[in-house]
Structures are given as structure tokens and as C-alpha cells.
Structure 1
């Protein structure tokens, strides 16, 4: 039986990646482990496309749908421009539910300069809550295209913002009353506000202007899974340092309350960057000028079997999460 969340990599290889239809002659980047978007050659420019569902949240689901998909496109150095969305509503859904989702989609897309150009809407038997599936399209000049499989041995690993941002916001919304009793209303409101930081479009476009080898948006499975996905895509290993990975206090306390690992909690809003070490200072400075928190958390290594996290002078393997920590509480 498959666990909740992303299908494990070995099952993707066995069941998915050998059933991908015709070979696209203009496809620059197609489906692969750790690759969150596709790139198609359009001459002087490249079309970048990504799709993601929102299944673990109900409140502000339209907001999440736009930003999560925009993030994946931006990690390829492309500016997101066009969005298609499928909205699946539970039986007996009220019209106000659809109206609220559409208002969120409209506001979020408008804020990023994205046009919603199509999709599908239905009431789906058997659903207990709405599901929104988005497909984002973006465009980038060919010489500015960045791929998630481009990391190289010795590259510094930069993480923007903080680990677990999206998961913290979702839990604070879904379990708000319980958390208010434990930590107070002001604490919960701060945690809920993390949703406003889940876009990495500015992070990615800013870093790409300086020069990077790869970028990745660590979503399900959090920073831990994101590291494995980037390493999978490039055939590399990594060494990271736990005390360098930025985590907000609210995330630490909420994860402690529910017994969760913040490094395996869905982390939209954080951007993982593989960059030549000589560019690290310039990237950090450029991000700082935009008010974007960032930290160098480790480096990629040549041996794909070396995937370790260092803590208090000890090294241990960084295990790939079986599923996202979010599923334990929502």
C-alpha cells in the first residue's frame, strides 16, 4: 500500500517514468526525479510548465494553488505568466465555497501578474473537502534557463527564508483553537501569517540574475526531502549542518507540540539554491537587499551515497521522509 503524500521514488521509476507517451522533440527537460517543471523549446525563449494539487489544506486553498505552482516555474528562472486550474468540490458544496476559491485565485494571480486562462470546475462524488489542481506556465530566455538537476559537486546550498513555513501556516489554520489554548492567540496569528511568505518568485529571479546552477522549491517532505530531490536529479550527495538551517520559533514550538520534524514539514516559501561558491556572497547580498532571509546550509558532494546531516560534531544519514509531517495532524 502506498503511503499518503508523494509516491516514493522507486515506485515512480517502476510505475510512472516508463509510461510517458511519445517523445517530445522540443522537450528540453521532461519528467524525472526531483524535477518539478518541464521546459519546452520555443526558439529564442523557453516555455516552462508545472502542475501541483493542493490536497492538505482547505482554508485559502486558492492562494496556495497559485503560489505553489508559480514557485515551481520560478525555480527554472522563468517568470510565471499563465495559469490553468481544476477545482473539484465536495458533494453538497455551497456556492459560497466556489466563490471564495475563485476570489483567492483571482487576487493571488493578479498580485503576480498572472492570467488565469482556463481550467475545469465540478462537484466530485466521494470528496470530503475541495481539491484544487493548478498548471502554471511561464517563460524565460533560453540562456537564463535554470534546471533543478544542474547542481554540481562543491556547490554551496543556500536556503532562503525558513524551513516548514507552509506547514506551519496550514497547521495554525487547521488546528487554531487547540494551538491558541497552548500558546495564545498572538502566537497562532503569527504562525498563520507565514502563508504570506510562501512565494519564492522574487527569491528565484533575484538569485538567477547573479548566477546559479540549480534551484528547487522544497514542498512535500520539507527541506529534508528537497535535498534528496535535488541530489537525485543531479546524481550527487550532500552534507548539511542542522544548526545552519533556519527555522522560525513558531515552527519549532508547533512541531514540538505535535511531535513533528520541522525539516520534513512542507516548506513552500523556502527556496533551495545550488550555486558556485564564488557567487555565494553576491547572491546573499542580492537577497538581503530585497529583505529576503537566507543561509548557507551545506554543500553538494560528488558521492551520491553521501547524504548526511551534521549536528553537534556528529554526522548521520539524513533519511528521506516517507511522507510529509503535515499528514500527521491534518
Structure 2
């Protein structure tokens, strides 16, 4: 039986054998660790991505816009157009789809995105709403950042902190329980981490330097590292004490016995940056108020390892996102 969350890579490899007709205008097609597709249109590329929001109820429209826009941003493009499918449980009231679309409208306007279509229905068998977003963007072909462009020796630059999205979701969905343990001000800070979810600002800086960028979502930073390595056929070495984790995330993960590095991580961005540019890039991000650190390097050798307390050890891919441990009911 498959676990909740992303389908394992070995199953995806079977899916990728059934991709319809070939088209020479497809610049970037589907693959493990690839956030977006890119299609040639003259001297520009149209970039497209789609993602569902399945773990959140409150602010689900907010997540739908930003999670999908992030996948466009890592291509070096700006998100421009949004389509949305809203699936509602049978006991939904009329206000629910109105509220979801109100949130989508507000966040799309913040990013300069036009809503151009979609579908809404009540679907039997659902326990909570599901929102599936599709975002399109545009970029000059010469400025497209390809997802499989990481090179051996590239530094791994990480922005912000691990597990931001997951921390905010848990704080909102388990608010009363967490207030009893940590207090109201702590929970409000954890909920507010949702405001860090867009990676568009750092992507627009990193696109000038990065060989590849990736938006770690399900499976968090840990899965994101594996997906980047999958896309480029590389290994990596990551230093665990260099991975930034906020206090709110660390304490909530300790309470629920979760690994913050495998907690859904929208809001952080991973980039493969030539070693000679890594320090400059981090300093530039910090100067713009964006937390950033070099957390490791990509390797020609296929091994994928973590260094802790001076010792190197295997760094396995998460089987499932840690969020599902909290919402497994």
C-alpha cells in the first residue's frame, strides 16, 4: 500500500514511460525532482506547474497560490496566470468556496497573477477540501533555469528555514492543543510563519547565479535535496548543523515527535550555486533580509550523506511527509 504524500520515485519512473506524443518544443518535461514544465514559444518559454493542497483547511486558498507560484519562480520566470480546481466535501456550506476564492484572489493580486479559469465541484468521499492550482509564467529562453542543471562541486544554498509550511499548518490546525502546551504568543508566531511561504523574492536574485533551483514541498528539505540530486544525476553532502530551523518548528516537531527536515517545506528554496559565487550570493540574500546559508555541496559520486558531529552517515529519503503523522486520523 502506498503511503500518504508523494508517490515514491520508483513508481514515478513507471509513470514517466506513458507521456503521450513527443513534441520538440518541450524544453523541460516531467521527471523526478522537477518542479515545472517549459515549452518554447519563439524567443520565450512558457513555464507551467500544478500542485494540490491536501494537508491544510484554513488558508487553503493562500497555499494554493503561493505553492504553485513558487514552482514557477524556481525556473527564473515570474508567475502570470492561474487556474484552480476546488473540490469540496459533501457537507460543505456555501460560504466555503466563496472564502477559498476570496483568499486566492487576494494572494494572486499580491503577486501580479491573473486568475484565468478553473472548476469547482462537491465531491463524494472527501473529508476536507482539496484545491488544485495550475500556474503559468513566462521567461526569456536564455534566462530559463533548468531543474537538472546542478553540477558536481556546486554549493547548496538554502533560504529561510526548514519546515515553514508544515509548522504553520500544524499551528493552525492544532491551535488549542498547542496553546495549552506553549502559550498563545508562541502559537501565533508559529502560525505567522505562513507569511514566509513565497520564494519569489529570493528566486529573482538567485536566477542570476544558480545552475538549478528547487522548491522543497512534501518531504521537506530532506526530500528536496534528493529530488535535486535525482534531477541532475548527482550525489550530495549536507552538514546538518548548517540547516536553519526556527525555534517554533523545533519545539512543535519535538512535541509531535517529527523530523523538521522532512516536514513540508514551502517557503524555503534550495539552489545549486557555483562554489566561487556562493558566499557572494548568501551575502546578497542576507542584505535583502532573506535568511540564507550554504548547507552542503553536490557530488559527482552518487552517495548522499549527512555530516553530524564530524561524522558522515547515509542521508535517506523520507518515506512520507512528517505532516501526515499529525493528521493521520
Q: TM-score range by the shorter chain?
A: over 0.9
Q: Secondary structure at the match of 1:329?
A: helix
- SS of residue in 1 equivalent to 2:254: helix
Q: Cα offset for 1:279?
A: 1.3
Equivalent residue number for residue 140 of structure 1: 139
Query: What corresponds to 2:174 in structure 1?
Result: 175
Partner of 2:250: 252
Aligned 1:44-83 pairs, distance under 5 A? 44-83=43-82
Tell me the equivalent position of 1:19: 18
Displacement after TM superposition at 1:286 (Å):
2.1
Aligned: 1:310 with 2:307: yes
User: What SS does structure 2 have at the residue aligned with 1:119?
Assistant: strand
Q: Partners in 1 of 2:156 and 2:42 — Cα distance?
A: 32
Match of 2:92 in 1: 93
Are residue 324 (structure 1) and residue 321 (structure 2) matched?
A: yes
Deviations 1:237-264 (A, max 9, x none): 0000000000001100000000000000
Select 2:294's aligned residue among 296, 304, 319: 296
Find the aligned partners of 2:284 and 2:131 in 1 and give their Cα distance.
34
Normalising by structure 1, report the TM-score. 0.98
**CA distance in 2 between partners of 1:310 and 1:178 (Å):** 35
CA distance in 2, matches of 1:175, 1:296: 33
Residue 106 of structure 2 corresponds to residue 118 of structure 1: no
Alignment partner of 1:85: what SS? strand
Deviation at 1:130, TM superposition (A): 0.5
Where does residue 201 of structure 1 map in the other structure? 200
Q: Deviations over 1:173-223 (max 9, x none)?
A: 0111111111000000000000010000111111113x1100000000000
Match of 2:272 in 1: 274
- Shift in Å, 1:20: 0.9
Structure 2 partner of 1:187: 186
The answer to whether the 8 A contact 1:149-1:214 is kept is: yes
Unmatched 5+ residue regions in structure 2? Answer: none
Aligned position for 1:5: 5
Residue number in structure 2 paired with 1:39 = 38
Structure 2 distance, partners of 1:261, 1:329, is 12
* SS in structure 2 at match of 1:153: coil
Gaps of 5+ in 1: none
Structure 1 stretches of 4+ with a deviation exceeding 2 A read none
Q: Is the 8 A contact 1:50 1:137 kept in 2?
A: yes
